[in-house]
Structure 1
């Protein structure tokens, strides 16, 4: 997990962007620490997409969803 965002971050830096960060632990760690997550309508959510069950096991807080 995290390799996709790391790769995209490197591409952005190579394209000239300077304020590029990779969130350590990803969205799962962010959510686990109680940080807010919002949907496209700016509503705070308690559901996090688990991608696949083998990854969702790392999401220990909130509601895991796999398809909506």
Structure 2
């Protein structure tokens, strides 16, 4: 399976040290999250519900 990875628009920081890429895995698998500086280092696989929960938690955290 070929995954098309997309770099987050929020990636960056000093020396581009905060780099996250997302990839839509097979529908029954979910969403992949990886470090764009180390694309061969593996990825975290999340279900759509887990991904939504993490995004919502991050939004709440940054609002404070």
Could you say which structure has the greater relative contact order, defined with CA pairs below 8 angstroms and 6 or more residues apart?
1
- The answer to whether TM tops 0.5 is no
Q: Which has the higher strand share?
A: 2
User: Of the two, which has the highest radius of gyration?
Assistant: 1
The two structures have a TM-score, normalised by structure 2, of 0.24
Q: Which has the higher helix share?
A: 1
